[in-house]
Amino acid sequence: QVQLQQSGPGLVKPSQTLSVTCAISGDSVSSTSAAWNWIRQSPSRGLEWLGRTYYRSKWYNDYAESVKGRITINPDTSKNHFSLQLNSVTPEDTAVYYCARQTSANMDVWGKGTTVTVSS
């Protein structure tokens, strides 16, 4: 079955870049029937969709307005994974970050989550 394995540092300093990677098994990041999403969850913001990447003859990205300009989601076909980079982080970016597979209009497979704390 499809599994998503997340990795990344749990502590990031303010103004630095948050990076989390999601390794895919049982599916392909280049699948033309899926999209690969990042979502975060915090007590203050609840579940918040951040963005996605997907392949439909070429690569596309969508990003939430709330993080546009600071976020990059990149697929890596050689490693079959995708990554999240969030620049210029502040304590407000402290959250649990999830990767998830989207098929149709919902997310059917989720990673276990990475707790990221922004603190000096």
Interface residue list for another protein (CB under 8 A): 37, 39, 46-49, 52, 62, 64-66, 98, 100, 104-108, 110-113
Q: Least distance from C-beta 120 to another protein, angstroms?
A: 27
Name the strand (E) or helix (H) holding 49. Answer: strand 46-55
In the bound complex, what is the minimum distance in angstroms from residue 15's beta carbon to another protein? 25
Q: Which is nearer to another protein, 1 or 78 (CB)?
A: 1
Least distance CB 81 / another protein (angstroms): 17
Q: Which lies closer to another protein via its Cβ, residue 65 or residue 78?
A: 65
Query: How many whole angstroms from its chain centre is CA 93?
Result: 13
Task: Please tell me the number of Cα atoms within 13 Å of 66 on its side-chain side.
Answer: 10
Q: Which is nearer to another protein, 89 or 107 (CB)?
A: 107
Indicate the SS3 state at residue 33.
Answer: coil
Using DSSP, state whether 118 is helix, strand or coil.
strand
CB 18 within 8 A of CB 113: no
